[in-house]
A = this chain, B = another copy of it.
C-alpha cells in the first residue's frame, strides 16, 4: 500500500472523515445533476446546516457552482471525484474489508462501495455503477449474460450505457417471470440491458405456480429446452441476493409456500432459490430457470447486493457460492457481515 497515504493518515487521522463526507456530498451533487441544499441534505443524511457548510466549501474550492436554481458539479469537481475514487477506497478501510470477505467466503473478488444502500440512494447508485463496470470487464464479444430480477440489478441498466457497447452481448433472463413487479422481473431487466447496450435479449414468460405436471410438460417443450441450453452457454450471470421473507412476500407467494419457506429456515434468496443460514438451498420457485449446478460451470458470477439489513441473506448465499463469484456490495452490508461472523466465533 502507498506509504505516503499511510503517513498522512497517521498524522492527520481525522482526514478520512472529512474526505468521505465531502466526497459523498460531491458525488451526490454529481448524481443528482442539479439539486438544492435541502434535498441534498436528505440524500446524504446530513443536517441542512452541515450540508450547507460543506457545499459552501466545495463552492469556494470551485468544485461546484451554486446558483439560485441549485448546485451543480463543475468539470474540476468531476475530475477531483475521479481522482479521489481510489483514495476513498483505501482510506475507508474498505480494501481490508474486501480481502477479509473474499477469503472467508472463498470468492473470486469482493468490491465494496462506501455507504449503505439502506435508505441511501447514493450507495445504490455506486453499486450499479460498479456492477456495470465489472460486467464490462468480465465480458467478451458475443457472450451470453444471464440476469435475474430485483431492484438492485434493474438499476444497473442506466450505467451500462457508458460501457459494454459494441460487444453484441445477449441477455437472457435467468428465470421466468415470477410474480414480481414488471419493472423488477428478470425478463424486463434483460430487455432493458439489451436496449442500453445495443445487445440482444431472449426472454421467456411463464405463468407462476405451475402444477408439477404442467411444469414437467413445459420442460419438454422445444422453446423451453432451447432456453435451458442457453443457460449452458452462459458466460456471465449477474444476480441479486434478497431477503427470503421479503422476496416471498414480494412474489405474492401463497401462505402455504411462505410457511414452508419459513419452516425451512430460509433467510436468503437468489435465482429463485431459497437458502438457509448454512447456505443450503431449502426451497425453489418452480419455474424455468438456470439450475444451481449450471452456475458452477459459468465463467463469472456477479452477485450484487447491498444494505446492512440484507447482510444475513447475503451471508447465507455466499456460504456455498461458487468460487468464481464476484461480490459487489456496500459498506453497510460488508460491515454487518463481518460483525455477524465475529459474533459466531
Q: Please give the residue numbers on chain A whose beta carbons come within 8 Å of chain B beta carbons, in ascending order.
A: 3-4, 6-8, 10-15, 18-19, 22-23, 26, 57-58, 61-63, 76, 79-80, 83-84, 87
Contact = CB atoms under 8 A, between A and B. Distances in A.
A76 B10 contact: yes
A62 B84 CA distance: 27
Nearest to A3: B83
A6 B22 CA distance: 15
Contact of A87 (B8, B22, B58, B80): B8
Contact of A7 (B12, B13, B14, B83): B83
B10 A80 contact: yes
A23 B4 CA distance: 14
Nearest to A57: B13
B11 A79 contact: no
Given A3-B83, A83-B4, A87-B4, A12 B11 contact: no
23 contacts: A4-B83, A4-B84, A4-B87, A7-B79, A7-B80, A7-B83, A7-B87, A8-B19, A8-B84, A10-B61, A10-B76, A10-B80, A11-B19, A11-B23, A11-B63, A11-B80, A11-B84, A12-B18, A12-B22, A13-B57, A13-B61, A14-B18, A15-B15
A12 B63 CA distance: 12
A26 B15 CA distance: 18
Q: Which of A11, A14, A15, A83 has the most CB of B within 10 A?
A: A11
A87 to B, nearest CB: 6
Contact of A63 (B6, B10, B15, B22): B10
A173 to B, nearest CB: 41
Q: How many copies of this chain does one complex carry?
A: 2
Contacts of A83: 3-4, 6-7
Contacts of A15: 12, 15
A208 B7 CA distance: 53
Contacts of A22: 11-12
A33 B341 CA distance: 45
Nearest to A4: B83
Contacts of A58: 11
A84 to B, nearest CB: 5
Nearest to A63: B10
A57 B8 CA distance: 13
Given A4-B84, A7-B83, A11-B61, 11 more contacts: A4-B83, A4-B87, A8-B87, A10-B61, A10-B62, A11-B22, A11-B63, A12-B15, A12-B19, A12-B22, A14-B18
A23 B63 CA distance: 28
Nearest to A6: B83
A342 B324 CA distance: 64
A16 to B, nearest CB: 10
A18 B23 CA distance: 19
A299 to B, nearest CB: 34
Contacts of A79: 7
Contacts of A3: 83
Contacts of A80: 7, 10-11
Nearest to A13: B61
A247 B64 CA distance: 53
Contacts of A4: 83-84, 87
Contacts of A62: 10
